[in-house]
């Protein structure tokens, strides 16, 4: 049976994380995901992938780990995740601790959705190297896995390098929280198979689709069925949902509108009604 969840930019102008998390769990949905942007530079050359002007909620977003910690404290069942975390802009030692903390506070309900980001100017303010962003993401994830796994963690790479140290808490989930790759490119499949547990494309099966992921899994000697398939921006049409489930997606994540409780809660009710037919 598939799982159904929602995602929203949690901002100072929208429904707050605690109220939303309670509402998601009360309505029988399965997950809640928060995106992130640390800030948006006023003078920005990078075009918005959405095609139009960049919406204001991109620069009003809560820190996702603070928001997820608050959501974890008032729920007991739903999965809580980043959708996505901009790993390139975060220190891996701090990020490993944030993930482990949310995982422990939630009782092992955390998923780390990751990506490399698109806003060059935002990355530059963090001192991040856009050209090498995927190489850096890879090393940061591998370094975090070492921190989660080892009592005396160390890592030596081109971009991340540290001598043995101690860091607790460790995640509740063995080996650390599941890592889902939120990207769509011809390189995404090899990246998933090297250091991720799932694929979370936006709106469709992605470049090359399931066949390419399956072929890459076979080449890597990895069980295709061990890879979680999550659809970000799932359609709210039951027939289209059925088609996506038929493709193999087991995690369907709907987008919520930006707004306060009066806007968001009726939409949650509507989505819960659609999901009911699939339970």
Averaged pLDDT for residues 243-248: 93
- Reported as a pLDDT band with limits 50, 70 and 90, residue 217 is very high
The pLDDT value given to residue 206: 57
Averaged pLDDT for residues 236-245: 95
Query: Which domains are seen in the chain, by residue range?
Result: 3-276 (3.20.20.30)
pLDDT tens-place string over residues 129-175 = 999 999 999 999 999 999 999 999 999 999 999 999 999 999 999 99
The pLDDT value given to residue 51: 81
pLDDT tens-place string over residues 49-107 = 888 889 999 999 999 999 999 999 999 999 999 999 999 999 999 999 999 999 999 99
CA-to-CA separations, 209 to 84, 182, 201, 214, in angstroms, rounded: 20, 14, 10, 9
pLDDT tens-place string over residues 11-26 = 999 999 999 999 999 9
Kindly tell me if the per-residue pLDDT of 271 is higher than 80: yes
Kindly tell me if the per-residue pLDDT of 205 is higher than 90: no
Count of helices and strands (H, E) across the chain: 9, 10
80 vs 67: CA distance, rounded Å: 10
pTM of structure: 0.97
- Reported as a pLDDT band with limits 50, 70 and 90, residue 44 is confident
The pLDDT value given to residue 204: 73
CA-to-CA separations, 170 to 21, 78, 91, 234, in angstroms, rounded: 24, 21, 17, 32
Averaged pLDDT for residues 182-207: 88
Residues of the chain with pLDDT > 90, as a percent, come to 92
Q: Which residue, 88, 83, 44, 37, is CA-closest to 60?
A: 37
Kindly tell me if the per-residue pLDDT of 247 is higher than 80: yes
Identify the weakest region by mean pLDDT among 166-170, 203-207, 253-257.
203-207
DSSP 154-212: EEE-SS-EEEEE---PPPSSTTSS-EEE---STTHHHHHHHH-SEE--BSSS-TTHHHH
The pLDDT value given to residue 209: 84
Averaged pLDDT for residues 194-223: 89
Eight-state DSSP code of residue 84? E
Beta bridge partners of 34: 82
The pLDDT value given to residue 88: 97
> CA end-to-end span of the chain, whole Å?
7
201 vs 232: CA distance, rounded Å: 6
Q: Give the Cα-Cα-Cα angle 34, 36, 39 (nearest 5 degrees).
A: 150
């Amino acid at each position: 049976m598939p799982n159904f969840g929602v995602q929203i930019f949690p901002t100072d102008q929208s429904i707050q994380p605690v109220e939303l998390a309670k509402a998601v769990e009360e309505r029988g949905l399965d997950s809640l995901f928060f995106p992130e942007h640390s800030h948006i530079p006023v003078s920005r050359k990078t075009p918005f992938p959405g095609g139009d002007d960049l919406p204001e909620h991109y620069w009003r977003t809560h820190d996702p780990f603070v928001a997820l910690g608050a959501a974890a404290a008032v729920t007991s069942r739903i999965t809580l995740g980043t959708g996505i975390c901009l790993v390139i802009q975060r220190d891996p030692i701090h990020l490993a601790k944030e993930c482990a903390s949310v995982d422990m506070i939630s009782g092992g309900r955390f998923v780390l959705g990751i990506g490399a980001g698109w806003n060059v100017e935002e990355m530059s303010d963090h001192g991040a190297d856009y050209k090498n962003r995927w190489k850096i993401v890879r090393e940061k994830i591998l370094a975090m896995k070492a921190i989660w796994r080892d009592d005396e963690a160390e890592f030596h790479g081109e971009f991340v390098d540290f001598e043995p140290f101690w860091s607790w808490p460790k995640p509740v989930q063995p080996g650390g929280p599941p890592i889902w790759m939120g990207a769509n490119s011809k390189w995404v499949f090899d990246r998933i198979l090297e250091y991720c547990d799932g694929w979370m494309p936006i709106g469709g099966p992605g470049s090359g689709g399931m066949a390419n992921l399956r072929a890459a899994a076979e080449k890597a000697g990895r069980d295709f069925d061990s890879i979680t398939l999550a659809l970000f921006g799932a359609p709210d049409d039951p027939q289209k949902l059925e088609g996506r489930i038929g493709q193999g997606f087991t995690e369907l994540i709907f987008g919520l509108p930006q707004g306060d409780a009066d806007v968001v809660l009726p939409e949650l009710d509507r989505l819960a009604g659609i999901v009911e037919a699939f339970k």
